[in-house]
Chain A
């Protein structure tokens, strides 16, 4: 199958400033993302996650190596707008990415920049708002909405550009649990509709919903696999200071206490089934 994003031996260096030495946010990173997949990227702060996200949208260009998005080299200026149209982006801070004081005008911002015909913009805006369940708020002022709602508007703004892939850069970090669930539901729905989703997050329960997890550390790939493969490797996660799902940690400690459990438990339901099988 096709890859929507392909990074080949990418190194990205932030230049030195008065107070900081230069440092490599990404070190010879090679990574491909399949069209239509849902990939979660986790890692500590400073592991290079955000830098990677910005490379996909050509907001940053690789120092060494190449980033291909939808077949375009992101350094090829002739296709800059094709790259950005192909890969939408949703940022962490819900307030600082909404351009307009009216919800629907904000959603229209991307298509307007692309020079889409007015009638077509209208159609896309209506569809995008419908997709995130915000149609009822289309005339509202964004600053009066909740964090979760603002993030849904930002997602609608990305959808309206008809991207093939959306990069979510910690979209739930500043939200409350309700807002987080709303946003995750929409990401899953977009994935089901065939949009490639790249989700950067600190929350393991969110990463668990992806079909592939990539863990970055020091700008390199530390682990790469299905959620099950990743989460059952308790020791590697702990070594990096990352959270381990409750069922995994509990199974491990039960095992230490001499309780015999099948290997590979990740979900709470699996643990319950192993401890007291339903009749």
Chain B
């Protein structure tokens, strides 16, 4: 289970999506998510689906890998779906006790679940095809105007990047600690909620200590390599919009125009 978390991880590759400028990818993902919520008809939804399917194909990230990321939040999706299912008036399709499923409800539920799935996949595509450093650099550049009003854009970006870097390390650590405590007879599976919560202490305390140790080591290692904030810092990969980025921007604009037109017309 712990190893199923692929969300937020980078998937090494050399596809066209991997090579796009991170700024355009971040903006495109944001725009796509907004469009997902503008869409309210089947046809627009289908367009969004096709758009993402093309994206997935271009990214060359295996579909199974992408879907594995969904598994972790399957419950959230299910919950959203069920919640919407019973919430709307309309022509009654099924009646179970006091709950009714209407055609409107079903549609909304499908839309919301669909939106959520597309939203997660599209943002995963962003992190799968963009290294944390690129993502950080991209965000930093995009947020640069904000630093004039006192937003610490470099620091925010750096924190994000390091957090992403340490997800796998902390997951491994959790796995190790759990096994070590199980070997000492700890039982995480039985008992009531209170008992189980208490059983988490032997995992959480070492995990926090581990995290602090990592943070301390990291801070030393970064200082030793002359890190002193964003000031005067350069970047190995210069960010320059290339032809492919402009083409992407144009495609995206056309797509957005299409979706908005649909919304206005229907």
Contacts and interface: CB of A to CB of B under 8 A. Distances in A.
Do A and B come into direct contact in the complex, CB within 8 Å?
yes
Interface stretch (A137-145, A178-186, A255-263): A137-145
Interface string B225-252: 1111000111111100000000000000
B10 A97 contact: no
Nearest to B224: A89
Contacts of B107: none
Interface string A79-115: 0010011001101010111111110110011111111
A122 B217 contact: no
A54 B221 CA distance: 11
A57 interface: yes
A100 B225 contact: no
Given A110-B225, A113-B225, A93 B237 contact: no
Q: How large is the interface on A (under 10, 10 to 19, 20 to 34, 35 or more residues)?
A: 35 or more
A118 B161 contact: no
Nearest to A108: B236
29 contacts: A57-B224, A84-B224, A84-B225, A84-B226, A88-B225, A91-B221, A93-B217, A95-B214, A98-B165, A99-B221, A99-B222, A100-B132, A101-B10, A101-B131, A101-B132, A101-B161, A101-B165, A102-B131, A102-B132, A108-B236, A110-B225, A112-B234, A113-B227, A113-B228, A116-B234, A118-B235, A121-B235, A139-B12, A141-B10
B226 A85 contact: yes
**Chain A: interface secondary structure?**
helix
A91 B217 contact: yes
Contacts of B12: 102, 139-141
Contacts of B220: 54, 59, 91
Nearest to B235: A112
A104 B224 CA distance: 18
Contact of A117 (B10, B221, B234): B234
A190 to B, nearest CB: 17
**Chain B: interface secondary structure?**
helix
A40 to B, nearest CB: 20
B114 interface: no
Contacts of A111: 234, 236
B223 interface: yes
B169 interface: yes
B202 to A, nearest CB: 22
Interface residues of B, number: 32
B179 interface: no
A84 B220 CA distance: 12
Given A109-B222, A115-B233, 19 more contacts: A59-B220, A81-B226, A84-B225, A89-B221, A89-B224, A93-B217, A97-B218, A99-B218, A100-B133, A101-B10, A101-B161, A102-B10, A109-B227, A113-B225, A113-B226, A113-B227, A118-B235, A154-B221, A158-B225
A101 B128 CA distance: 12
Interface of B: 10, 12, 131-133, 161-162, 164-165, 168-169, 172, 213-214, 217-218, 220-228, 232-238
A161 interface: yes
A118 B169 CA distance: 30
A198 interface: no
Contacts of A104: 236
B217 A112 contact: no
Contacts of A84: 223-226
B131 A112 contact: no
Contacts of A118: 234-238
A52 interface: no
Contact of B133 (A89, A105, A110, A154): A105
